[in-house]
Amino acid sequence: MTGRLHDRILLITGAAKGIGAAAARMCVAEGAIVYLADIDAAAGQTLAQSLGENAHFLSLDVTAAADWDAACAAIADRHGRLDALVNNAAHMVIADLAQTDLESWRHVQAVNVEGALLGCQTCLPLLKHSDHGSIVNMSSTTTRLGLPPMLAYTASKAALLSLTKTLAVDFRYQGLTIRVNAILPGRINTPMLQMTERLMSGVDLETDPKVEELMAEMHIGHPEDIARAIVYLASTESAYVNGTEFVVDNATTLG
């Protein structure tokens, strides 16, 4: 199969649903061999099976170092390299300062920041075997806004952005051909946003029969809008794009 990701080996976390699932579909369609990693084994396995022989499910909790070791060992055995790591898995909690307890704060940081850190650390030896390695970290346009009910989440996405830029420079200084970029999506209709909107605005983006009209009114995007940015950053087309904040939000953070 040919395509923009022909023969490239990708690992996408949080690939069972939402943006990760759309990215897995699109990357396989573009010729990649994709490892879909998620804690939701039922949804992840079903999706991987539906995508054919170039899609493989990995049961992986991004906070568990042992899961990362096992995933990288499996990819090393089969391919000896990894071309792109997409740190997409995340956990969202709706809580402001008064409602935030340390345990939930720490869990959000563990999944959204430490999960990506572990991924970068564990996958680095495999990425070094790629001619054009790429790490894509899923940050958020919430890093540019003040959103009181998303305290822990926005802080985690800002930390991930900082990690992205620092690693991009670090790897370039080391002479590695591994780029590190962040995508900052606006609001995208996924299970995460559906949960958030139900709680915050009472809008049901999952079952409302006029969902497409609602999305247009609210300037909400589709998971595929972000999947296209992932394809670009995971491919060699973006060879000179490094350390960037790739905002994909239909200008909603501008006004």
- In the chain, the amino acid numbered 42 is A
| Piece of the chain touching ligand NAD by CB under 6 A; list 25-33, 190-198, 203-211, 229-237 | 190-198
By Cβ distance, which residue is nearest to ligand NAD? 18
Whether 23 and 96 have beta carbons less than 8 Å apart is answered as: no
Which one among 9, 11, 16, 24 touches ligand NAD, defined by CB under 6 A? 16
- Site map (CB under 6 A) of ligand NAD, residues 192-211, x = contact: xx------------------
User: For ligand NAD, which is the closer residue by CB, 159 or 193?
Assistant: 193
Q: How far apart are CA 231 and CA 159, in angstroms?
A: 23
Is 240 known to be catalytic?
no
User: For ligand NAD, which is the closer residue by CB, 51 or 138?
Assistant: 138
Which one among 95, 130, 187, 246 touches ligand NAD, defined by CB under 6 A? 187
Q: Give 9's contacts (C-beta < 8 A, 6+ positions apart).
A: 32, 33, 35, 75, 79, 81, 82, 83, 84, 130
Report in angstroms the alpha-carbon separations of 137 from 85, 166, 252, 253.
8, 12, 20, 19
- In the chain, the amino acid numbered 175 is G
Asked whether position 62 contacts ligand NAD by CB under 6 A, the answer is yes
Asked whether position 91 contacts ligand NAD by CB under 6 A, the answer is yes
Q: Is 41 helix (H, G, I), strand (E, B) or coil?
A: helix
Report in angstroms the alpha-carbon separations of 223 from 51, 129, 185, 220.
17, 30, 10, 10
User: For ligand NAD, which is the closer residue by CB, 24 or 33?
Assistant: 24
Contact residues for ligand NAD, defined by CB under 6 A = 13-14, 16-20, 38-40, 60-63, 88-91, 111, 115, 138, 140, 185, 187-188, 190-193
The residues carrying an active-site annotation are 153
